[in-house]
Chain A
């Protein structure tokens, strides 16, 4: 192809252009495959769990005690224990996390002090879960004398998931435009009145998204509760936060590694219930987020 032709019609494709386009297409497919391969395991895992564990599911499985050395029976104490652990952890972490986010979003100046708080939050999120467990043992079980109990385990979980609440809440507070704050201050509202009457009501659903996400994270955690309050097997249900309890996540570990002669379907059933709880919560959080994105408030 001559230069003159090219000049006459710049939209004509040269050989160079064609091969470049081919490379582009190749890479696009490659990346798509990579994304697909990342997703594929989720589908395989879910299918396997449903196929192998689905048969276990029944009313009795969910609502009766394990029997015969945990090789038979249901998972009720573990299910209820997880509800206890997550509930108490939420009662502790949500108020602290939301208040911390309010401080960071509404009060903190942009200086070294605030930056170090942010750094601490990032690091808190990055501390290995087993180190959180060690902290829980050293601080809550031994130093504060809670013993191995729901309280100690839930506090450990609360510390661990605090960054999730803080980050989600801060984001939804900062999504409220500053002009609204100034309008309130102009009318003589105190900072707190502004936050309570205008900022929080307009970010509460975003905060809820974060809290649901936290519930989902907390439900699946195992290492932090192993030595702080969750036990392999307890025949009685917990009566107070000072009791130990069974938990779904730990129960999955126990029936799949610690107990001999477990029928193959049992751990699959436990895993299926656990992952269903986690993914349902997660999907709810995602759905809520998408619903909110479509809703215009200003």
Chain B
């Protein structure tokens, strides 16, 4: 039977003719590629734009010694402004450090419970609650620090001010815990069941199996989770701004008020003139924050991916 006699319906495309469908497909391919590289463009863009705005300061008033080693952040001093972020770094570090002390045991404990002990409905329920914990906005946490934690700390410890490292550290710990819990849980889940079965066959109890077999096998993933938590704490802004007391201070105890790098930008950017040294110095802090979190996220990713490979 010949070609012509064959009954065909619709437009049968010619194999040597590119039709509209062919060109649409090509076009879509280019469009999605452009969107696909948007993440790279944006991450480079963030670095470039923040650097451009901070450039004037870097070239003129910036002194490496003063910036990193001076505890005096006095950009508005009329005679001699100083731009030292040592106290701010101390503030960020102390709050993040305390937050990790709070978050690591709790998130690890919760992850072990969710991954190894809880089952069925109980696990689902816990996971949903932890997810909701992660959803509470930073500014609400800040408000909680201000209105609930502050009087509580004053009462409990008999201190004059409740906006301090302790307050912000606990809040930040609670904020970082959900992500750390879920990454740790993934890491524990990634340990193959045959490890557990082998250890159980040798007569270990559940806890012995977890302690001696599962935890060591999952340690990279757990470390990655901790690093991401550190990154979160480091970059957190509103909660830290509202709960630390926002006082420039190299702290001596957890009851001291401090000020964080992020909070400084948030509090001062609105009051500076665009292009002034103070404005540019705030962008320089931004470059510093960006670089540190970039390194933290990168290493967390490398560590977490390391376990997937092995």
Contacts and interface: CB of A to CB of B under 8 A. Distances in A.
Interface of A: 20-21, 23-24, 27-28, 30-35, 37-39, 41-42, 44-45, 48, 95-97, 99-100, 102-104, 106-108, 116-117, 119-135, 137-139, 142-143, 159, 162-163, 166, 190-193, 195, 216-217, 219-223, 226-227, 249-250, 252-253, 256-257, 267-268, 271, 274-275, 278-279, 282-283, 286, 290
Nearest to A96: B35
Contacts of B135: 216-217, 220, 278-279, 282
A249 B174 CA distance: 19
Contact of B39 (A106, A120, A190, A283): A120
Contact of B235 (A24, A128, A249, A282): A128
Interface of B: 21-22, 24-25, 28-29, 31-40, 42-43, 45-46, 49-50, 52-53, 105-107, 109-110, 112-114, 117-118, 124, 126, 128-133, 135-140, 142-144, 146-148, 174, 177-178, 181, 205-208, 228, 231-232, 234-238, 242, 262, 265-266, 269-270, 274, 282-283, 286, 289-290, 293-294, 296-298, 301
A177 to B, nearest CB: 21
B49 A143 contact: yes
A176 B12 CA distance: 29
Contacts of A223: 138, 237-238, 262, 266
B20 to A, nearest CB: 10
B131 to A, nearest CB: 6
Contact of B110 (A35, A102, A216): A35
A24 B234 CA distance: 36
| The 10 A-B residue pairs with the shortest CB-CB distance in the complex, in nearest-first order | A220-B137, A128-B235, A34-B109, A103-B36, A99-B35, A138-B49, A31-B113, A190-B25, A126-B297, A103-B32
B74 to A, nearest CB: 21
27 contacts: A20-B205, A24-B206, A28-B117, A32-B117, A34-B113, A35-B109, A100-B38, A102-B32, A102-B35, A117-B37, A123-B298, A126-B297, A128-B237, A128-B289, A131-B235, A133-B265, A134-B283, A159-B46, A193-B21, A216-B135, A221-B138, A222-B237, A252-B143, A253-B238, A278-B135, A282-B132, A290-B124
A135 B45 CA distance: 8
A33 B133 CA distance: 16
Contacts of A42: 129, 132-133, 136
B298 A127 contact: no
B290 A127 contact: yes
B49 A24 contact: no
A233 to B, nearest CB: 13
Tell me the interface secondary structure of chain B in the complex. helix
A27 B234 CA distance: 31
B137 to A, nearest CB: 2
Given A159-B42, A222-B138, A191 B29 contact: yes
Contact of A193 (B25, B110, B114, B297): B25
Contacts of B266: 130, 133, 223, 226
A44 B53 CA distance: 43
B109 A123 contact: no
A38 B109 CA distance: 10
B41 to A, nearest CB: 9
Contact of B136 (A96, A278, A290): A278
Nearest to A34: B109
A41 B110 CA distance: 14
B231 A126 contact: yes
A222 B139 contact: yes
B205 A256 contact: no
A129 B237 contact: yes
Contact of A286 (B24, B128, B297): B128
Most interface-central of A129, A219, A279 (chain B CB within 10 A): A129
B237 A20 contact: no
B305 to A, nearest CB: 9
A39 B136 CA distance: 12
A119 B301 contact: yes
B137 A249 contact: yes
B146 to A, nearest CB: 6
B292 to A, nearest CB: 9
A32 B136 contact: no
A96 B50 contact: no
Contacts of B205: 20-21, 23-24
